[in-house]
């Protein structure tokens, strides 16, 4: 009897090792071919700048090309759905953003679940929104903008990167907190939204870090920033919370993989991202664009995202924002 049990245990262990061997071999060989990083936004915005910089560093680390493929639209859900359906082998990754945490509150019939169909890998960047205006608008402070909004907000408008985007939420929240009714003008990405501001088509914009070079060049004027505290790179720029307590938004960007991707591959990508963030070129980019890196583990990033989903469900409900 003991001999039979011993043989059964041996056979079971052998079978388990046989099952795990392909996963282990895949993880050891990863990546053995190009990796595709799906960007949910059009080229030119802050997310695209980060994606391309990160791809360059990962390509150096892996000695394999990292290809950026843009799949914008539908509030970033097209890109997320595409990656959720992809083969879970680590060769198709999603540039995950705060917008993906907003989407579940706005789109009721999504074909994927951000928590169960996508596996969190790494939180690569956190940054604020900059409330910017054209210098020739005669608005030089947050107080002056609030005064104009209270006097005649119906005549004012603001652009965003799209319906129900984070800049749209911030604009709607500003309307709510100031009792104003400025008109929302959505665009398909932050780059065209910023172009509209530069061209004088709109009055103001909650922009991501892609606006920083324009701020330094004097093409736009920053009135406030959405971070909880003032930025070291902009010490004289007040936070929105200084004028409107409770006004705080964070733009975050990370990497996700399809659910079912081996944990060994997830950990390898996470470690590679951390190495990439420590590269001099990335540190320079982060300093220049007011970004903050993160060392959250995959599990910590997953918990963070789940909390973000709940936060934006509440905010969207209170602001009365719905996808159209």
3-state secondary structure labels for all residues of 225-287: ECCCCCECCECCCCEHHHHCCCCCCCEEEEEEEECCCCHHHHHHHHHHHHHHHCCHHHHHHHH
For residue 89, is it within any domain? yes
252 Rama sector, left if φ>0, alpha if ψ -120 to 50, beta otherwise: beta
Instruction: Kindly state whether residues 116 and 79 are assigned to the same domain.
Output: yes
Q: Which domain holds residue 122?
A: 33-127+250-319
For residue 324, is it within any domain? no
Last residue within a domain, chosen from 243, 265, 289: 243
Under the banding of pLDDT at 50, 70 and 90, the label for residue 25 is low
- H or E segment and range at residue 21: helix 2-29
For residue 90, is it within any domain? yes
Above 90 in pLDDT, residue 7? no
For residue 64, is it within any domain? yes
Distance CA 172, CA 177 (A): 9
The percentage of residues in the chain with a pLDDT greater than 70, rounded to a whole number, is 90
Mean pLDDT of the chain: 90
Above 80 in pLDDT, residue 119? yes
The lowest-confidence range among 211-215, 244-248, 320-324 is 320-324
For residue 189, is it within any domain? yes
Task: Name the more confident of 322 and 310.
Answer: 310
Instruction: Kindly state whether residues 237 and 266 are assigned to the same domain.
Output: no
- H or E segment and range at residue 305: helix 298-319
- H or E segment and range at residue 131: strand 130-133
pLDDT tens digits, 73-89: 888 999 999 999 999 99
Last residue within a domain, chosen from 213, 243, 273: 243
CATH number at residue 202: 3.40.190.10
For residue 61, is it within any domain? yes
Distance CA 288, CA 24 (A): 40
Last residue within a domain, chosen from 243, 267, 296: 243
Neighbours of 108 (CB within 10 A): 8
Helix 298-319 crosses helix 98-106 at what angle (to 10 degrees)? Answer: 50
For residue 51, is it within any domain? yes
Instruction: Kindly state whether residues 268 and 121 are assigned to the same domain.
Output: yes
pLDDT tens digits, 130-145: 999 999 989 999 999 9
pTM reported for the whole predicted model:
0.79
Task: Name the more confident of 197 and 43.
Answer: 197
Rounded average pLDDT over 32-37: 98
pLDDT tens digits, 132-187: 999 998 999 999 999 999 999 999 999 998 888 899 999 999 998 999 999 999 99
Above 60 in pLDDT, residue 63? yes
Rounded average pLDDT over 190-209: 94
Instruction: Kindly state whether residues 137 and 197 are assigned to the same domain.
Output: yes
Number of domains composing the chain: 2
User: Which residues, including other chains, have CB under 8 Å from residue 62's CB and lie 6 or more apart?
Assistant: 31, 35, 272
For residue 82, is it within any domain? yes
DSSP 198-235: HTTSSSEEEE-GGGHHHHHHTSSEEEEE-SSS-BTTBT
Q: What angle do CA 43, 221, 123 make, to 5 degrees?
A: 45
pLDDT of residue 183: 96
Instruction: Kindly state whether residues 91 and 142 are assigned to the same domain.
Output: no
């Amino acid at each position: 009897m003991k001999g039979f049990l011993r043989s059964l245990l041996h056979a079971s262990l052998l079978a388990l090792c046989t099952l795990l061997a392909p996963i282990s071999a895949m993880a050891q060989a990863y990546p053995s071919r190009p990796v595709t990083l799906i960007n949910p936004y059009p080229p030119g915005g802050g997310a695209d700048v980060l994606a391309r910089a990160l791809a360059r560093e990962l390509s150096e680390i892996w000695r394999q090309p990292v290809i950026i493929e843009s799949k914008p639209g539908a509030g970033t859900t097209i890109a997320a759905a595409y990656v959720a359906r992809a083969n879970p082998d680590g060769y198709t990754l999603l540039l995950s953003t705060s917008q993906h945490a907003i989407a579940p509150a706005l789109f009721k019939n999504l074909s994927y679940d951000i928590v169960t169909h996508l596996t969190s890998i790494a939180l690569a960047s956190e940054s604020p929104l900059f409330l910017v205006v054209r210098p020739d608008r005669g608005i030089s402070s947050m107080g002056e903008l609030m005064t104009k909004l209270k006097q005649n907000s119906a005549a004012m408008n603001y652009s965003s990167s799209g319906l129900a985007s984070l800049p749209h939420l911030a604009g709607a929240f500003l309307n709510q907190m100031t009792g104003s009714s400025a008109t929302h003008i959505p665009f398909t990405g932050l780059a065209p939204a910023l172009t509209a501001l530069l061209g004088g088509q709109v009055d103001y914009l909650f922009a991501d870090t892609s606006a920083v070079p324009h701020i330094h060049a004097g093409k736009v004027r920053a009135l406030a920033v959405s971070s909880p505290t003032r930025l070291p790179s902009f010490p004289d720029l007040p936070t929105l919370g200084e004028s409107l307590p409770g006004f705080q938004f964070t733009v975050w960007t990370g990497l996700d993989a399809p659910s079912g991707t081996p944990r060994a591959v997830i950990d390898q990508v996470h470690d590679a991202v951390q190495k990439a963030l420590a590269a001099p070129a990335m540190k320079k980019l982060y300093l220049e664009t007011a970004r903050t890196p993160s060392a959250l583990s995959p599990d910590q990033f997953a918990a963070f995202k789940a909390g973000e989903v709940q936060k934006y469900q509440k905010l969207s409900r209170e602001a009365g924002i719905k996808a159209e």
